[in-house]
Amino acid sequence: MSDKPSSAKDEDVIRGLVENWARAVRNKDVEQILAHHAADILMFDVPAPLQLKGIEAYKQSWNSFFDWLDRGGTFDLSELSITAGTDIAFCHAIIHCGNPRGSGQEDDLTVRLTIGLKKINGEWMILHEHHSAPAD
């Protein structure tokens, strides 16, 4: 039995969940990307539209990103920080998206990631995902 307090155990579970999500994005594994997202997820993303409501809209948003990955783009997560309560948690991180090889673009995109989670039937589920870029 672990000596970790419950919140530390939950933080470990959430860290694994988010790291697996990022790996699934790199692998273009839609089933694993969606694995811990609630049916009524709300996402704010960098590209339009302003918001995506529901798991189907969220799922569809990955298609153009996969095309970008196929051309050599990257998706790397860093600086992941997690705060977990009994049944609500949030985390934030940095996502670095490198431009595809041969794209002629020199500037890579680094964005902020914030995720809101709720424990539902004993399992952490993502209810809100927010990707944002600083304004110039």
pLDDT at 100: 63
Rounded to 10 degrees, the C-alpha dihedral 27/42/40/81 comes to 60
pLDDT at 91: 97
Write the CB contacts of 89 (distance below 8 Å, at least 6 apart in sequence). 10, 11, 14, 82, 83, 116, 117, 118, 119, 124
Please report, as a single letter, which amino acid is at residue 134.
Answer: P
For residue 123, the enclosing domain spans 6-132
Q: Identify whether 62 is part of a domain.
A: yes
CATH number of residue 99's parent domain = 3.10.450.50
- 10-residue block means of pLDDT along the chain (136 residues)? 72 97 96 97 92 96 88 90 96 88 68 97 97 86
Q: Identify whether 75 is part of a domain.
A: yes
The HSE-up count of residue 80 (CA atoms within 13 Å, CB side) is: 16
Number of domains within the chain:
1
pLDDT at 104: 64
